[in-house]
Structure 1
Amino acid sequence: MDLFSSQKTILELPDAHITYVADFLKTDEAHELFEHLKHKTKWHHDDITLFGKTYKQPRLTALYAETNKTYTYSNVTMHPEPMSSELLSIKKKIEIITESEFNSVLLNLYRHGQDSNGWHADNEKELGTNPIIASLSLGAERVFHFKHRKIKTARHKLLLKNGSLLIMSGAMQHHWLHQIPKTQKPISERINLTFRNIY
């Protein structure tokens, strides 16, 4: 089920709250930030362990923060780099529209259609009880899937456009899972920045 057609949509779901801003950044601004982050970010290609098996993550990642607190998921512990002026600038813009403050950003580089992020929730204890996650998409469009843990009919998808901002809040990380699935379609690179607080 496709949900969003307007430039800015607020969606109240069972146990969740989503805001999607399709044109958060202008095309040229998004392209400039993409190129900067692609070449200046200290990308990592970590091993992850899922269901007892260890393999390379199907994407590159990086963590930047205003604190020195680590972030751990799937048996990967990330140590943050200091935020650059570019990251601090975009963080400030996102904080204005979300009316929230963030101290960290997790970046993902999807190099092609076979790079992905499997079903998961951002529910690690370091993120607090009901975290607000602000996700900025740059580059190629990818489809974002999300589904309720218990309500089997509550499954949705959203095309994340270049320069768009997706804000997940409320109890969503407790009750919903989300993913960026693989695609066989020829697709170029995408960078995703997920602003959050790590406590």
Structure 2
Amino acid sequence: MTTSQGTGSGSADNNQDKLERIKKEAKEDASSYYAQGHHEDHDKDLKAEYGKPLPSVDLGKEEFNMVRALAYLAFGGAALALIFILFFIRDLDNRVDTMGKEVGNVDAKLDPFKKEVNDNIAKLTGDLDGLKSKVAQYERLTAAIELKRALVTIQEIAADSSPEVKSKSAQVVASIQSMLDEFAPAMKETAKPAEASV
């Protein structure tokens, strides 16, 4: 019990001391604390320092420093330009590669279309050639039919005519017959599809 009473009175003394210190600080003037770094002597020293003339500068040294600063600036600019160029060229290379791949993809996609167009053009050309040959065969067939009509007509006219007309008509009939022999293969080729359709 005595120890606890001793500690109790000791803490009361401590609290009392603290209270005394706080009261003492409250009575003190705080302006002296905040004005520690400001002295009139210091202001006088600064005015005297600013009043002194500046020392002369060595022109050669100044020029050398200027050249050195410009050299540093130039080297820095060159380094930045080099870095920019390297990144730009790498990016450009990537873009060119990407563009090449895209063009290749477009070509690959267009290849079936090109093949189809070429096949259709080839088929159309073949159809046109076939149509031309059919038209030519039709013209030959029409000419052969007209020649046969002319042959029959001449033979009918020559049957009741004079011998002179008969001899001339025989020459015409022979000419028509030779022409019909030339048209015979065309007539046979055209007759085959006609027979097949019947």
TM interval, shorter chain, is under 0.3
Q: Which has the higher contact order (CA 8 A, sep 6+)?
A: 1
- Greater strand percent: which structure? 1
Which of the pair has more CA radius of gyration? 2
Alignment TM-score, normalising by the size of structure 1: 0.17
Alignment TM-score, normalising by the size of structure 2: 0.17
